[in-house]
Amino acid sequence: MTSETRLRLFVAIELPEAWTEALAVIQERMKRALAQDEAAADLRLRWVHPEAIHLTLKFIGEVAPERLTPIREQLARAVPELPGIALSLGRVGSFSERRAPRVIWAGVYSEQADALRNLAESIETWLAAAGVPRERRGFTAHLTLARLPEGLSGTQRRRAAEITAGVKVPEPPAFQIQGVSLMQSFLGPGGARYARLGRWPN
């Protein structure tokens, strides 16, 4: 089976427009801050288009089309009712590998953090019953803003992380999760495109 016939899937919470606009503001502030720093002015980060940013709960990866039905069935069991969890936009940070930052993100804060982790864990558990491997790392709520290219040195990566972490974060209104979506991504030269394949509870 070729990769073209497989479905690249993930489970996510879609963001309201106010959040998408706030994330665009953060990215513009980061770009300006980087441009004003002599050591970082020429760095070319791979920015995620604001409309393409989601709160990912579970990355499934590429699966055969016939596995779509059992995945849908298990998600219906994992999210039988509205989670009722309110989310707020948090601080900016980065994920590192061997102490060299590789991803710039905006955090997501909730006074119901345990409930959010439990939601992600429920999805992990039920999808495992559909043959989806469990994630080895624990769930960390974040919104990916940019990725740092492989060609950058560790010093350049750390400097980019330091600069972007200093930008002021807007405060869009908190929102309650209205559903959990199964998303399909289509990779292409212009960046990834997404289509929603289902939403729960439906």
Question: Tell me: the pLDDT tens digits for 131-165?
Answer: 999 998 889 999 999 999 888 888 999 999 999 99
Residue 52 contacts residue 188 (beta carbons within 8 Å): no
DSSP state at residue 179:
-
CA dihedral 25, 200, 63, 124 (to 10 degrees): 90
CATH topology (fold) of 3-200: Cyclic Phosphodiesterase; Chain: A, (3.90.1140)
Two structure tokens written together for 154: 């560790």
Two structure tokens written together for 95: 């994920």
Residue 129 contacts residue 184 (beta carbons within 8 Å): no
- pLDDT by residue (tens digit) across 6-63? 999 999 999 999 999 999 999 999 999 999 998 888 888 999 999 999 999 999 999 9
Reported pTM: 0.92
